[in-house]
Amino acid sequence: MVQFAHPIRCSQETLLSQNLLVKCPKCQQRLQVKPLATESRVTCPKCQTVLKIGAEKPAVSQPSTPAAQAIPTPAPRPASNRVQRQPPAPAGFEFPATPATGSIPGHAPRPRTGSNASFPGARPSGPRKTGSKSIPKPVLIGGVAVALVLLLGGIVGAAIMLSSGANDARTASSSSNSNDVSGGNENPSGSENPSSRTNPPRRFGHLIPKTSYEFPDLGEPLKVYPSGVRRYFVEINLPGQRHSGEMQFHVWIPAGEHAERSLPSVLVAPAGTNLLHGASLSRTDDYDKETLPYAEAGMIAVMYSLDGGLPDNVTPGTPMAMRALVEAYPKFATAAAGIANAVRAREFVLQKIETAAPEKLHYAGHSSAANVALLTGAWPGPPIGGVIAYAGAYDLQARLADLTNDPAVYQMFGNLHTFVITSSPKRQVAGLRCPVFVFHARDDSNVPFQHAEEFVSELKQADKNVTFETVTSGGHYSPMINTGIPRAIAWIEKQHPS
């Protein structure tokens, strides 16, 4: 289609006295034109754009089209040696074994150019194409209105999808009362086994405590159970921290007197998130079903918070919930999907609980919290006793496929594609250097049992130390309470006999 540029006006004297040097506004081709005495039109030989060249008082008669002679475009200037600054990417993290994003089927990286570089998936900027006829204003206004409606629908839909998983674990917990029966001191010892754990690479520097902080004492117990177990609640607020500076801990200490650095410990993150935000804790939280059995078996149990928690007054599926999620996601990503919180929890336990043995420390979690435990086990930090995963979302790319392919979600969550890859336990099998306990029910309707089978198969193929325990029925939550935790306790006792 022939496209018209803006007319080029000049005086009558200029038209009659000399040739004109004209630049095509579309392709920037320079043309040398011998004009007529009246308004004339020149066709660009490169892009076929018609240029109007006329006097300030154009004649009425029909102009002819003189031939135009193309002038070679001058060579471009040499590129500058200065490095152009790019807009900062949203906070995220990277594991050493992460493959290139372009190698993942169905997840090709979207272009990031121009002013849209800070939004993964944004369309590249460039010169607009202009037609010979402008769009009528009523049609333009209507198109914009339809686009806004579609965008709003996408955002609300994403909010419903994202927030629908927030209360899964709590809902399952409340329903488990039915008769559902199913068949600063990174290393206090001052030494580390280099053969079992590699030194953290430089990109993990933000997860390694730079300063030794004095954490608050446990204080007075909130509750003493009939078994003699004592429960404490501790809050920390460390200054100048990008992550894990404000955390809460519930601590269960077993009854009796114990020797220094003799007891196993199990550190558990709260479950029930959609894997894009964290969770805070309060004094009134009741996680006894998920933690008390460890303490009654003679182990230290600790529930720790995750950065990027949502406010308590947010209703799932509402625009307010989406805004809260958009604000929480960068905090959760900066904390490396909870790894930083797990590292801080270990530091707290080994500083304030003298009976905790570093080599007997385990990370455990259910559902979304199982991912935190597995990712922490893959983090190349100090040696740990093992990882316990109950019904985890092992393949995060499959879990969040609908969201990662939604352009509206890409506009709201920076660096989402990379975050989903690096925070998927299935992508971090190579980094696991500790024993792994996996538990899953075959009839789990939240996370397919097939995902657990595939994850365990990859662990075995990589020659990892893995124990796979299953039950035939019970769903997503109750089997962990009734069967999973007792089997995990036996697994820990077998590893560390007293």
User: CA-to-CA distance for 264 and 253, rounded, in angstroms?
Assistant: 11
- Compute the average pLDDT of residues 211-229: 91
Q: Which helix or strand (DSSP H or E) is residue 301 part of?
A: strand 300-304
What percent of the chain has a predicted confidence (pLDDT) above 70?
A: 62
Domain range spanning residue 24? 8-71
Q: Which helix or strand (DSSP H or E) is residue 328 part of?
A: helix 319-334
pLDDT band (50, 70, 90) for residue 43? confident
Q: Does 60 share its domain with 162?
A: no
Residue bearing tokens 């121009």: 114
CATH number at residue 268: 3.40.50.1820
- Compute the average pLDDT of residues 443-469: 97
- Of 23, 51, 71, the domain-final residue: 71
What is the token pair recorded at 12? 């009558």
What is the token pair recorded at 8? 């080029």
Average pLDDT, the chain: 74
User: CA-to-CA distance for 140 and 136, rounded, in angstroms?
Assistant: 6
Q: Is the pLDDT of residue 1 over 80?
A: no
- Of 71, 89, 108, the domain-final residue: 71
Region of poorest pLDDT, from 337-351, 415-429, 472-486:
415-429
Q: Does 38 share its domain with 179?
A: no
Q: Is residue 290 part of a domain?
A: yes
| Sheet containing 50-55, strands listed edge to edge, beginning at the edge strand earlier in sequence | 8-10, 50-55, 40-43
Closest CA to 436 of 474, 392, 480: 392
Q: Does 35 share its domain with 162?
A: no
User: CA-to-CA distance for 153 and 97, rounded, in angstroms?
Assistant: 37
- pLDDT tens-digit readout, 56-79: 444 444 444 444 454 454 555 554
Q: Which helix or strand (DSSP H or E) is residue 302 part of?
A: strand 300-304
Q: Is residue 480 part of a domain?
A: yes
**Predicted pLDDT of residue 238:** 86
User: CA-to-CA distance for 96 and 380, rounded, in angstroms?
Assistant: 9
Q: Is the pLDDT of residue 94 over 50?
A: no
- Compute the average pLDDT of residues 33-51: 69
Q: What is the DSSP annotation of 171-189?
A: HHHHHTTS-------S-TT
The pair phi, psi for residue 146, each rounded to 5°, is: -65, -40
Q: Does 60 share its domain with 209?
A: no
Q: Is residue 46 part of a domain?
A: yes
Q: Does 61 share its domain with 166?
A: no
Q: Does 47 share its domain with 165?
A: no
Q: Is residue 81 part of a domain?
A: no
Closest CA to 186 of 304, 314, 342: 342
- pLDDT tens-digit readout, 149-189: 444 454 444 444 444 444 443 343 333 333 332 333 333 33
- Of 71, 103, 122, the domain-final residue: 71
Angle at the Cα of 48 from the Cα atoms of 47 and 54, rounded to 5 degrees: 120
What is the token pair recorded at 328? 């929480």
**Predicted pLDDT of residue 18:** 54
Of 317 and 346, the one with more pLDDT:
346
**Predicted pLDDT of residue 414:** 77
Q: Is residue 126 part of a domain?
A: no
Q: Does 211 share its domain with 313?
A: yes
Q: Is residue 78 part of a domain?
A: no
Q: Residues with Cβ < 8 Å from 136, sequence gap 6 or more?
A: none
Q: Does 65 share its domain with 166?
A: no
Reduced to 3 states, what is the DSSP secondary structure of residue 261? coil
Q: Does 67 share its domain with 209?
A: no
The pair phi, psi for residue 4, each rounded to 5°, is: -105, 135
Q: Is residue 369 part of a domain?
A: yes
Q: Does 162 share its domain with 51?
A: no
Closest CA to 357 of 496, 435, 263, 258: 263
Residue bearing tokens 């406010």: 311
Q: Is residue 96 part of a domain?
A: no
Closest CA to 370 of 272, 468, 459, 495: 272
Count of domains for the chain: 2
- pLDDT tens-digit readout, 325-380: 999 999 999 999 999 999 999 999 999 999 999 999 999 999 999 999 999 999 98
**Predicted pLDDT of residue 93:** 41
Distances (CA, A) of 83 to 77, 79, 112: 16, 10, 17
Q: Does 57 share its domain with 182?
A: no
pTM given for the model: 0.63
pLDDT band (50, 70, 90) for residue 49? confident
- Compute the average pLDDT of residues 38-45: 70
- pLDDT tens-digit readout, 126-146: 333 344 444 444 443 455 444
Q: Does 48 share its domain with 193?
A: no
